[in-house]
Amino acid sequence: VVAPITAVPIKTGLAVALKVLPAESLAPDNFAFLEIRVKTKILFNFSMIEDLWNILVPALLIFAVGLWDDLKRLPARIKLVWQIVAAMLLIRLGTSVSIIPFGFLGLPGETHIAVNWLITLFWVIGITNAFNFIDSMDGLAVGVSGIAVAFLILVTLGSPQISLLQLLTLMIGTCVGLF
């Protein structure tokens, strides 16, 4: 029995990146101190990228490895190494979960920070591989991403992180458009 051949889009991540990254750099910001203007019209606003660069750089690394995998079919161990590098870069740039408080279960000194870093490492690798797994089903990854982003928007609404809210809004619009 021969299975029917169907076209499966492999570059949805590329579509998301090409839609979100230029749009986030064009987001209006009244307090932008780095911008390119032509006749009082902002062409390129660097402040949003500056606010979120510690998240965007590791995300772009994971995106690049995913695109490379789509094009060349990388071995699992190579993908895992790059996912670990991206997660460690995320932590090194100052972004990690803060679930375990100081003194939790009698942990000495700054051990809670290392535990939070390990949780961040496993979270990034786990979510990346979960999305890689469901990416083979047409439209599922972008649909699940849209649902996750919608909940992140709800959480971010009450916070002062305007740049993150702008990025999430762009992402949900992209997910809805691609779904």
CB 127 within 8 A of CB 141: no
Would you state the torsion angle of the CA atoms of residues 172, 95, 80, 22, taken in this order, to the nearest 10 degrees? 40
Across the chain, what does the average pLDDT equal?
Answer: 76
Q: CA–CA separation, 137 vs 149, rounded Å?
A: 19
Give residue 120's pLDDT: 92
- CA–chain centroid gap for 117, Å, is 17
Q: CA–CA separation, 128 vs 171, rounded Å?
A: 17
Q: CA–CA separation, 46 vs 94, rounded Å?
A: 20
Give residue 101's pLDDT: 78
Give residue 176's pLDDT: 84
Give the single-character DSSP code of 101. Answer: P
At residue 37, the 3 state secondary structure works out as: strand
Q: CA–CA separation, 37 vs 66, rounded Å?
A: 35
Give residue 44's pLDDT: 46
Give residue 20's pLDDT: 55
Give residue 45's pLDDT: 52
pTM over 0.95: no
The pair of structure tokens assigned to 136 is 């083979």
Segments of the chain with pLDDT less than 70: 1-51, 138
Element spanning 62, H or E = helix 47-72
